[in-house]
């Protein structure tokens, strides 16, 4: 079965805009269902939690539902493993701060050179406490992270490896389960940034055996807020960052100073409302768990995204003056539709500014993966040109982009 794209697009009111939006890795459009959930919270339960009166009880139930359902969405074992926060960057900085209280000088952390700075800078800040940071670099021939290279920098002092599920520039999907097994066998933990991955593929944290996983809702058709998953036993051991009188056994609250944003957390339920409705519309069994419904629906998304990527990759591969930064395939098994490239002798901003004239929104720059852009020597070119699609994009939109690019690049 093919994705019912017309039904999908009806769920995103802002797609009525005259612009073709292909900067989705920077932030996707929001679902009407998310807006509805936020409105419901603000109009009917916008009070502080924990009081005895009924409106406060309703607010508590709403937030409890949000945490529980988000846990089911990624197949966490418990709602206590779900920490809601303002952004991925903030949550990772808070997690790193907690680790900083238990690690010892000389302990080591591995970061990559291809992550968003959120999953690099947070850990590098621990260097001031004597923590040693080692860098796992991508292979410049195939733009991939290789386990052999990781093995060369891990040792018995390695406590954690921070890695991306999919680079927001390269677009290649990373076999997190394989990396997790490798890291765990060597006695370390793993923290995965899924921001560029979750709009395209379902996540099963238990299947992948991930210790920590983080992503932003505004890349997943929701609001400007984020989620951090952590295994219960690890969260219980880590020191909290909340007020001194918050019990260390209060997980996840001890990691939520000022608490979570109530209406944004409750609004995230609109994402799972959408997935469940789309699953039903596409004939996916209602008897499946939310996580399994997501897997089935995202499989349809993968096929649709391959169809979208095909003409773009064909065009880019046909131009001898273009270098794709990442996989040159359109297969959804190896990449998501975040496609970055450079043009020989042309500044990346010049390409994007010409595309703007066609009312197509793409982007250029380093996209907060500045270490990668610097290591590739692309800063002088104003970074890369990035096309980032999601499942509400259409083949007609892609063909419009391809026609514009073909004209510009000739």
Q: Could you report the per-residue pLDDT of 32-68, keeping only the tens digit for each? A: 999 999 999 999 999 999 999 999 999 999 999 999 9
Task: Say how far residue 225 (Cα) sits from the centre of its chain.
Answer: 12
> Could you tell me the domains of the chain?
5-30+290-409 (3.90.1150.10), 81-260 (3.40.640.10)
Q: How far apart are CA 198 and CA 65, in angstroms?
A: 21
Q: Are 191 and 95 in contact (CB under 8 A)?
A: yes
Question: Is the per-residue pLDDT at 410 higher than 90?
Answer: no
Q: How confident is the model at residue 12 (pLDDT cuts 50, 70, 90)?
A: very high
Give, as one character, the DSSP assignment of residue 364: E
Q: How confident is the model at residue 255 (pLDDT cuts 50, 70, 90)?
A: very high
Work out whether the CA dihedral 282, 287, 290, 294 comes out positive or negative: negative
Kindly report, residue by residue over 61-118, the tens digit of the pLDDT: 999 999 999 999 999 999 999 999 999 999 999 999 999 999 999 999 999 999 999 9
Q: How confident is the model at residue 249 (pLDDT cuts 50, 70, 90)?
A: confident
Mean predicted confidence (pLDDT) in 211-223: 98
Q: How many Å is the Cα radius of gyration of the chain? A: 21
String of DSSP letters for 258-320: T---HHHHHHTHHHHHHHHHHHHHTT--TTS-HHHHHHHHHHHHHHHHHHHHHHHHHHHHH-T
Question: Is the per-residue pLDDT at 119 higher than 90?
Answer: yes
pLDDT at 147: 97
In 3D space, the residue among 240, 238, 192, 234 whose CA is nearest the CA of residue 88 turns out to be: 192
């Amino acid at each position: 079965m093919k994705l019912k794209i017309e039904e999908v697009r009806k769920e995103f009111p802002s797609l009525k805009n005259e612009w073709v939006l292909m900067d989705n890795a920077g932030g996707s459009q929001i679902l009407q269902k998310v807006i509805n959930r936020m409105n419901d919270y603000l109009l009917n339960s916008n009070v502080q939690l924990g009081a005895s009166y009924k409106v406060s009880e309703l607010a508590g139930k709403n937030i409890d539902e949000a945490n529980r359902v988000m846990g089911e969405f990624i197949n966490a074992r418990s709602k206590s493993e779900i920490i809601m926060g303002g952004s991925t960057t903030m949550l990772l900085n808070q997690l790193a701060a907690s680790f900083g209280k238990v690690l010892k000088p000389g302990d080591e952390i591995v970061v990559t050179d291809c992550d968003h700075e959120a999953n690099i800078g947070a850990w590098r800040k621990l260097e001031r406490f004597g923590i040693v940071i080692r860098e796992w670099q991508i292979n410049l021939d195939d733009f991939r992270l290789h386990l052999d290279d990781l093995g060369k920098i891990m040792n018995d002092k390695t406590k954690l490896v921070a890695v991306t599920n999919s680079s927001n520039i390269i677009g290649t999907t990373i076999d997190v389960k394989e990396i997790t097994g490798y890291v765990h066998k060597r006695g370390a933990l793993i923290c995965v940034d899924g921001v560029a991955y979750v709009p395209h593929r379902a996540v099963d944290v238990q299947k992948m055996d991930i210790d920590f996983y983080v992503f932003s809702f505004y890349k997943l058709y929701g609001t400007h807020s984020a989620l951090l998953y952590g295994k219960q036993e690890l969260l219980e051991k880590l020191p909290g960052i909340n007020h001194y009188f918050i019990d260390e056994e209060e997980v996840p609250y001890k990691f939520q100073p000022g608490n979570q944003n109530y209406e944004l957390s409750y609004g995230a339920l609109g994402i799972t409302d959408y997935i469940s409705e789309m699953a039903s519309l596409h004939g996916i069994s209602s008897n499946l768990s939310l996580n399994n419904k997501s897997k089935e629906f995202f499989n349809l998304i993968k096929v649709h995204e391959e169809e979208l990527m095909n003409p773009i990759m064909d065009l880019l591969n046909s131009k001898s003056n273009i270098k794709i930064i990442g996989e040159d395939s359109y297969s959804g098994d190896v990449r998501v539709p975040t496609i970055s490239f450079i043009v020989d002798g042309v500044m990346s901003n010049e390409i994007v500014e010409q595309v703007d004239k066609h009312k197509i929104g793409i982007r250029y720059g380093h996209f907060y993966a500045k270490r990668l852009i610097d290591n590739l020597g692309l800063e002088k070119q104003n970074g890369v040109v990035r096309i980032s699609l999601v499942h509400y994009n259409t083949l007609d939109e892609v063909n419009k982009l391809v026609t514009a690019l073909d004209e510009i690049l000739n």
